[in-house]
Each structure stands twice: as C-alpha cells, then as structure tokens.
Amino acid sequence: MMSMIENEMNSHKKTIEKTIEELQSYIYTACIVASETINKGGKILIFGNGGSAADAQHIAAELSGRYKSERRGLPGIALTTDTSVLTAVGNDYGYDRVFDRQVEALASEEDLLIGISTSGNSKNVLRALSLGRNMGCKTIGFSGCDGGAMNEFCDVNLIVPSDDTPRIQEMHIMIGHIICQAIDDALKE
C-alpha cells in the first residue's frame, strides 16, 4: 500500500509541475478575465458533470462565501445545484440542455461562464459555452487531455496536461483557487 501512495503522490507532483510549466500564462489570462468580470459587476456561472459539478459548486462557494479574505459576497453561481431546474429541463428537453437553458435564463454579456469537463467533450457543457459565447459572455474552459471540443467554444481553455481524470480534477480545483485568489487581490486594489 505504501508504494501505491507514493505512486499517486508522484503522479500528482508530475502533473502539477507540467501544469505550472504549460499553463501559467493561460491561468494568468483567466485570472484577469475573472477579476474584470467581477469588477465590472458581472457574474461567474460555473458548470460541469459529476466531479466537475462538485468543483463548480466548490468554486462558486469560494466566491459567494469567502476564499481567504474578508470581503463582500461575490456572484459565483454553480448551475449544478438546482435539482428542480436540472430535472425539469432534463425531462422536458434532455440532459444535454440542463446548462444552456440556465445560461439563457441567467447570463448576460458582462458575465463569465466557466465550463468544466475533464475530456472537454461533455455535450451539455459545450452547448452552454456555445450559447454563452453567442450571447457575448466570456468563456473559460477547465479541461484535460487535448481540450476536446471545448477548444472551439472557449476564450481560454485551461487544458491540464494529463489524461488521468483524478490528476485533471486536482489541477482544476487548484486553478479555481488561484482564480479566487486573483479576484480577492483585485478587490483590494
């Protein structure tokens, strides 16, 4: 068991080193976009499936509640939490529509959409990003592997350099935390 633990930790370490090397400038851009969105009165709408849904909720909570600094609550909204909307839209329109219907209802052009998909190919995430882009929203993707179809719909697609879902998810939450810190810092200026 100790060798498994060491292997997992070494795998994480290798992924974080590659992420720093390959994504630092893209993360910087995402931090600027997110900070500007909040400073201009926009909202950040975040969505994904499964573990990515949990990450969306985690990041939204850091914004609406508090990350590290005491500050006002910020409009971070996870589109994964309203079971009535998710089940109504899923039933009436199909699961591929659960996020884009909410984007249509809640987003405006000053907002930022963050779509999370480890493969970059989740249909419901892609539909929401596409609609948001057409509405004039900024779009950021958190993905892995080669970025998948999200590359087409994101102003910035943060492609974690891995095809191992747990490693990708670990980097997604780290990147989400970095963005939250950037927003906190921007609010102090």
Q: Which of the four pLDDT bands, split at 50, 70 and 90, describes residue 188?
A: confident
pLDDT at 114 (0 to 100):
98
In DSSP terms, 48 is beta-bridged to 116
Query: Whole domain around residue 102: which residue ranges?
Result: 2-188
Query: Is 0.85 topped by the overall pTM?
Result: yes
- Which tokens hold the place of 121? 């190919």
Percent of the chain with pLDDT over 90: 98
pLDDT tens, position by position, 47-68: 999 999 999 999 999 999 999 9
The DSSP line for 124-139 is: HHHHHHHHHHHHT-EE
pLDDT at residue 45 is higher than 90: yes
- CATH number for the domain that contains residue 181: 3.40.50.10490
**What CA–CA distance (Å, rounded) separates 2 from 9?**
11
Total domains present in the chain? 1
pLDDT tens, position by position, 122-175: 999 999 999 999 999 999 999 999 999 999 999 999 999 999 999 999 999 999
pLDDT at 121 (0 to 100):
98
Strands 44-48 and 156-159: what pairing? unpaired
